[in-house]
Structure 1
């Protein structure tokens, strides 16, 4: 039986893809008052103002890995999770994976949203094709290493309160009505550029995405938090300006991510496909 791929709900994968490739999705948690809601399982309030979040627990991940390993018939499990800089989920997964020896490999995607979803899908496709665990692992690491994630938020207050961005960067977002463009670097959300208006921030984000895409084939996801019209406009600009888009989707941020980025946030995830030269070279990997 094939290797089974496990991820978490921040990947924002379409249910049809999850079912097609047999991906196991472990829910992250939205904490609303006294309620602990499992994303993707329990109803989550539309208004996420004031809610907090938490990662998947070691016990939850251990149970998911055990079930996946059993389903694989011993072929193994690859777990690809949200950046350890954004959630405690990867660390909980690392501890859980130790119980299974080398049968469960774990990857820090250093991203979230489809920045996590793209390596998960690459791993799942390889697994469905019969690839061994080590090959599935290398394919996912390669895709994760090529991804870029950019985001514009209306306010940085929620990111600062949740500890996802430093206080100094948060102050830049309020001083003189500055609107920052943020990006993920080594899994950490940092300031890329500051502008004076939201319109200029989105324009700068699109410019950066076009530069990252270059001339090669690129898969793109545009995420948003209750800002579908804005996200559609961004997607239209990317279609006009990027010559070779292999696939483009517009989708909501997951509730757990939406609780931190706030209403009006729009993000772009790019996954450039490897060139022929890249494919002929050796694939590099990062430690589990």
Structure 2
């Protein structure tokens, strides 16, 4: 764990929770739990801006047209002002949890900014992204809202992101290859077009999980894997889509509802444009997170 040590906590801790936009948290939950989200940067055909300022349809069109698309972490200044706002709001400590350092330099920018902040900042490298990160931020924020000491808030976040599973379907590995995030799945480049890859996040990187002939079989296999990961225990589930047809999303949701009565909370979300830039149009993901 980065940041300052876990000493000097008090019974009067007021802990602020900060994450980045790869957490894919919906706005109503951000507002409900007072989570601050620092925006990643997206570049499409020469235009650079916060990722939430880009329309998904615009990015899908650019990707399919082969236009230049690139992503970058927030700069240290964005983190500084997020941290400073927390201080101004009365925070006595900050828990800042972020996308895997093996996928992004976001953590480095957070550390740089934290050096200028007068309260403790606990910077956590989640080694994940998407709603594995999002559920961790929610657990941290709920724990903080209950008045817990900062160490308990850190532990709540760590438990969530260490036990969550990401299952990812992509139509093609090409977009991960372009963005340099393909990891060990590079061994599958050049597979037949009809063979669809299922991926996960392991040790902070995208990793291969299974190769399945055809989209329909691949989605069925992904649902099977989600059920296996849940193991009949209470879980929260998120389904993320990026340019995927409605019927694919509905089929996955129906399969999970029918086979996982142990689901506590379920979310159907649009993936952020940063994640979309790497997984490409047609991608679907399932997050399984023990409740």
Per-residue deviation, 1:81: 0.9
> In the aligned structure 2, how far is the partner of 1:247 from the partner of 1:33?
38
Q: Is the 8 A contact 2:79 2:110 kept in 1?
A: yes
Paired residue secondary structure (2:147) = coil
**Counterpart check, 1:205 vs 2:216:** no
Aligned equivalent of 1:129: 146
Give runs of aligned pairs for residues 12-23 of structure 1, distance below 5 A: 12-23=24-35
Per-residue deviation, 1:114: 0.9
1:4 to 13, 16, 36: 16
> In the aligned structure 1, how far is the partner of 2:182 from the partner of 2:232?
32
> In the aligned structure 2, how far is the partner of 1:143 from the partner of 1:45?
28
Q: Is the 8 A contact 1:6 1:68 kept in 2?
A: no
> In the aligned structure 2, how far is the partner of 1:20 from the partner of 1:144?
21
Paired residue secondary structure (2:190) = helix
Residues 45 and 182 (structure 1), Cα distance of their counterparts in 2 relative to 1, 3 Å cut = closer
> In the aligned structure 1, how far is the partner of 2:91 from the partner of 2:230?
39
Per-residue deviation, 1:173: 4.5
Between the two proteins, the alignment pairs up a number of residues equal to: 270
Q: Which moved more, 1:256-265 or 1:60-69?
A: 60-69
**Counterpart check, 1:35 vs 2:52:** no
Indicate the RMSD between aligned Cα atoms, in angstroms: 1.7
Q: Normalization by structure 1: what TM-score? A: 0.88
> In the aligned structure 2, how far is the partner of 1:157 from the partner of 1:43?
21
Q: Is the 8 A contact 2:42 2:48 kept in 1?
A: yes
Write out per-residue CA displacement over residues 25-74 of structure 1, whole angstroms, 9 at most, x where no aligned residue.
1111110122111122x243623213211111122112211221232x24
**Counterpart check, 1:47 vs 2:58:** yes
Per-residue deviation, 1:207: 1.1
> In the aligned structure 2, how far is the partner of 1:79 from the partner of 1:182?
27
Per-residue deviation, 1:231: 1.6
Aligned equivalent of 1:96: 113
Write out per-residue CA displacement over residues 163-189 of structure 1, whole angstroms, 9 at most, x where no aligned residue.
1114x7345243223211100112210
Q: Is the 8 A contact 2:199 2:208 kept in 1?
A: yes
1:172 to 188, 206, 215: 188
Paired residue secondary structure (1:230) = helix
Per-residue deviation, 1:129: 1.0
1:230 to 248, 254, 266: 248
Aligned equivalent of 1:272: 290
Aligned equivalent of 1:244: 262
Q: Which runs of 5+ in 1 are unaligned?
A: 274-288
Aligned equivalent of 1:262: 280
Per-residue deviation, 1:151: 0.3
Aligned equivalent of 1:67: 85
Runs of 4+ in 1 over 4 A off after TM superposition: none
Q: Which moved more, 1:131-140 or 1:94-103?
A: 94-103
Aligned equivalent of 2:9: none
Write out per-residue CA displacement over residues 100-130 of structure 1, whole angstroms, 9 at most, x where no aligned residue.
3761101112211211110100011111111
> In the aligned structure 2, how far is the partner of 1:11 from the partner of 1:231?
20
> In the aligned structure 2, how far is the partner of 1:253 from the partner of 1:207?
22
Q: Is the 8 A contact 2:197 2:211 kept in 1?
A: yes
Aligned equivalent of 1:162: 179
